[in-house]
Amino acid sequence: MPEHPVPKAGLEGVIASDTAICNVDEEKSELYYRGYSITDLARHSTFEETAFLLLEGKLPSAKELKEFHKTLSAARQLPAEVEEVLRWLPPATDPMDALKVAVGVLEATSREADSNSFADNRKKAIRLISRMPVIIAAQYHISRQKTVIKPRTDLSHAANFLYMLHGKEPDDFTSKALDTSLILYAEHELNASTFAARITASTLSDMHSAVITAIGTLKGPLHGGANEKAMEMLIEIGEPGKAEAWIQNAISRKHRIMGFGHRVYKKGDPRNPFIKKIAGKLGRRLGNTRWFEISEIVEKVIDREKGLHPNLDFYSSSAYYLLDIPISLYTPLFAAARVTGWTAHIMEQHADNRLIRPRGNYTGPKKRKYVPLKKRG
């Protein structure tokens, strides 16, 4: 039997695929979308422009961006079947499960559902990017027996979600805060959900099926649920004066502190400075700096005691809380941003496909002789 390399737990550091979409520089702790630094994109871009970049491989011209925005906003209206199915779900349905169901219904209503051509995949990608935030807001209201607020085509991607969630048009600062967070969450190389989506796509299954796979993977608390758990922790701490003792106690009990550390970044997440700045500004603007103050103390203690740095999820939690986004929607909103990267990777996989089928390192018993049932005693 041929020898195989000893596998690394969790495939850590293993190169599994070529990709032209995203580059994570481990040594410098830098992140690039299609060659553009996340620093430049977070400072200067919009979610719509970033989505175009990820799907098309280049930054759009002014004309292209205007047309893309028009196409994206025009696709916001959900098929009637989607809203009908959401109403059939039990009110207590997990929003991530509702999102999987809704994406499945979107597939059933798509004329291009089974086509994996680039043109048809692009159409499906735009509709998924456009409609996932609409689904999240609609399901939130339906689960509470409230009226669904219809999407508007004159608002940006971020502003429309906040409008549908709260029933009022957000101001520019609030809209930009969410917009920047969506840029930061939009793509991150072969993370667990993206890799899962590529595995599904490699079987030549369709885009919707691959996205449903990704949503299911993101639902796991070690991938997508950290921002929710981080906010629950901040609420439990309650006030800055209790933060250090709370964290010291959690460390002594070997309790996992969510929102810290990263499989790839060892020197700090390059997205963290931007979301931290947003969280701080939101707190000062709203006259509620409690969560930011607690977060900074937690960050200081974790760095001192564990040598770990906050990842994107940590300060996203309090930023979303100050944006009045329900905690149960943090992970679905992560999905609504990351679907941009998922669909780009699915199209890349379909364009140059080979079935992803790794080997396993067998650790079970050696060859054994079968004993008939009557002789086993």
Which part of the chain has CATH 1.10.230.10?
Answer: 226-322
- The predicted model gives 44-64 an average pLDDT of 98
Question: Where does the pLDDT of residue 59 fall: very low under 50, low under 70, confident under 90, or very high at 90 and above?
Answer: very high
Report DSSP state, residue 267: S
Report DSSP state, residue 324: T
Question: Where does the pLDDT of residue 1 fall: very low under 50, low under 70, confident under 90, or very high at 90 and above?
Answer: very low
18-32, 89-103, 168-182: range with lowest mean pLDDT: 18-32
Active site (catalytic) residues: 262, 313
- The predicted model gives 261-282 an average pLDDT of 91
Displacement of CA 227 from its chain's centroid (Å): 10
How many residues does this entry show for the chain?
377
pLDDT on residue 82: 97
pLDDT on residue 13: 67
What is the rounded distance in angstroms from the CA atom of residue 322 to the CA atom of residue 171? 14
For 210, list phi and psi in degrees, rounded to 5: -65, -40
| Residue 189 identity (one-letter amino acid) | E
Tokens of 134: 């609409």
Mean per-residue pLDDT over the chain, rounded: 94
Neighbouring CB atoms inside 10 A of 85's CB total 17
Q: Tell me which H or E stretch contains 339.
A: helix 330-351
Q: Which of 3.40.190.10, 4.10.95.10, 3.30.70.60, 1.10.230.10 would CATH assign to domain 226-322?
A: 1.10.230.10
Contacts (Cβ under 8 Å, ≥6 apart) of 73: 130, 152, 153, 154, 155, 157, 160
- Region 22-220+327-351: CATH code: 1.10.580.10
Question: Where does the pLDDT of residue 34 fall: very low under 50, low under 70, confident under 90, or very high at 90 and above?
Answer: very high
Provide the percentage of residues in the chain whose pLDDT is more than 70: 97
Which part of the chain has CATH 1.10.580.10?
Answer: 22-220+327-351
> Residue 54: pLDDT above 90?
yes
What is the rounded distance in angstroms from the CA atom of residue 298 to the CA atom of residue 204? 45
- The predicted model gives 75-97 an average pLDDT of 97
Contacts (Cβ under 8 Å, ≥6 apart) of 334: 185, 218, 224, 227
What is the rounded distance in angstroms from the CA atom of residue 38 to the CA atom of residue 274? 10
CA 223, 180, 328, 21 dihedral sign is negative
| Residue 241 identity (one-letter amino acid) | G
Tokens of 170: 């957000």
pLDDT on residue 178: 98
| Residue 283 identity (one-letter amino acid) | G
Tokens 């103050």 found at: 293
Burial tier of 341 (Cβ tally within 10 Å: 0-12, 13-18, 19+): buried
